Structure 1
Amino acid sequence: MGVGKIHYEFMDLPLRFHLFSAVVGMDGILKSISSDMQTVTGFDAGDWVGRPFSALMHHDDRNKWAGILNGEEEEMGLFMYRMNSKNGDYKWVESTYAVFKDLKYGEKPHIHLLTKDMTVVKELYDYLVSSEQLSMVGQLAAGIAHEIRNPLTSIKGFLQLMQAGVIDTGHYLDIMQNEIERIEMISSELLFLGRPKASDMKVCCLQTLLDEVLVLMETQSYGKNIQIETVFPSQPIFICCDDSKMKQVFVNLIKNGLEAMEEGGTLTVELSVAGERAAVAIRDEGIGIPPEKLEKIGQPFYTTKERGNGLGLMVCYQIVREHNGDISIESKPGEGTVFTVVLPWAGPDGEQEASGSF
């Protein structure tokens, strides 16, 4: 999608929001639905009255709806999900809902929904995530190129000495092998981050995911007098996530922490579990953020950097929300900043079903 296409789609947004209304009983059965449903899904609205509303939803997106029916969610709110269409595809929609008694339906509580087609918004958001991801990969590449060049220089030197018969071949072959494996590991992680791929929710070990991110981020700390420390529990912690997007979140947050530490210091990545939530705290010893700026962090185009557009953190917030998690910030000027990412825990063995709102 080019810039011209984005501009056209953005200006055309108000014309693309097709809406329909529906009333659903607390048993999940559709009581009524407006004829505008056909514009969004292609289905005849009358064919769905008396059927479960959840049958219209992608099976991975039904958790929020189940919570509303079971009284586990607020009585008013909104949620985004994929809705089935007559041609077999799924459309992204957003429903605003309210639960209240309705005289028309015997004064029993019902769920009233106003649903709009969000397909074009989701396409633009996906483009933004992809663009930000490529920008991040480009910024990492400079530090990684330096990290790869050093072992390559060493390997070249060893080969020249071997050819001259100056050094013992056996001993230095092991060193060269280790250097080559490190180059391979770094380049593989960079390629993984930069490779376009469809969203794929699966159970992942957080320690492993963070270790793979730190392979890249350690290359950014060299020469800056910054030490990266990890505090991980011995027990594996599992979450359901799109590993590519979640790595993008942690790369952005760790990168921001490193950039804030102009005088060097220690950046700490700490992992913990509290109840049914896993928390990753990224703590830097940088300049900190003033209170008046703290509440604006994560807003589009707001940044505390001299060079930056604020989109990186905005994308982080959105990705974490899509994983049913949240991000909090604590900061004091002159003392540093802590970004904490809290995500649903998938249990001690990762047995929770992989699902999300993608």
Structure 2
Amino acid sequence: MAEKIEAVIVRKGTEDRVGQALRESDERFRKAFDYSAIGMALVSLSGRFLKVNSALCEITGYGEEELLAKTFQTITHVDDMVEEVAYTQKLIAGEIHHFTLEMRYIHKCGRIIWILLNVSLVRDECDSPLYFIAQIQDITERKQAEEMLRKSEKLNAVGQLAAGVAHEVRNPLTVLKGFIQLMQAQREDEQGHLALMMSEVEHIEAIITEFLVLAKPQAIRFQSNDLATIISHVAALISTRAVMNSIQISTRIAADLPHIECDENQIKQVFVNMLQNAVESMPGGGLIMITAARLGKDHVQIRFIDEGCGIAKERISHLGEPFYSNKEKGTGLGLMVSYKIIETHKGTIKVESRVGKGTVFTIILPVSQLVKKQHG
């Protein structure tokens, strides 16, 4: 009898120790989950969040209760949905044990977040699927850096090409232009054809000029400049062409708009390019609005708003790349140079557009070049 009692006591003590160990293990897991530096989530087989940690809330911008009321599908970028669902189905079927994907989530504020997603599946003792364990890392900055490097490498390649092309083409083009001018002075009966030839030569010259900017970037001379005056001068410069196309250019400049440190000629070049693109996008006429105002203490915001044909959503991310243009005869070099100039001025360009409604180019520039770049 005493032996049985002793056995029961020993068994009870063992069970208590096992129970304590399990509770401690669960507590360690809970703390590791809650305090992990990367996003963690337990997700049901249907995709609903069962448990999330604070890091995932910070990545997505949602509170814990908000995420628990959602599925992963509701925050996944539509273009990445099919691939992610396909992998989860393979997990459930036992074809794979885990998967890793670089994909996009939609932040609560609407912006795109690039994430590195690692997912595995928890099964019960009968090998039936229970729920997913997901680890989510925000890799947005890394993806942006990779994109900047890609564009930089492409820009360097274009610059090398530009130097050779500009040298080989400009000299014979100058001779050709001279002969056309000579013929215009002598052949009254061919003025129409000669004017067309001259127009095309000047178009080629404009492309070569853009090539030269890429091949030999001009030295930047930062000085304090009146931004309101720059905008007014550029608007006046383009107004004649705009009027010929039944387009009105209107400006709305804040009274407290400060002077900014910039290279006046380069900023004018950007603004001219913005207005020219706007005019060319409005063959049926309309209104172009330019607004300029302070943005916080250290920045200014300039917006070019047109009523043109608009740009398809999938094409916006390619603007600023060489030889990528939304125009039939465009080279993409004008916008590429504009992006480069604004980046050199520690500024940003953001594009919003709706096909058939119009486009808004928003430029943010620092008042002083000592101010850190503001990311849009």
Q: Determine if the TM-score, normalized by the shorter chain, exceeds 0.5.
A: no
Structure with the largest fraction of helix: 2
Larger Rg: 2
Q: Output the TM-score relative to the length of structure 1.
A: 0.44
Structure number with greater CO (CA < 8 Å, separation at least 6) is 1
Q: Output the TM-score relative to the length of structure 2.
A: 0.42
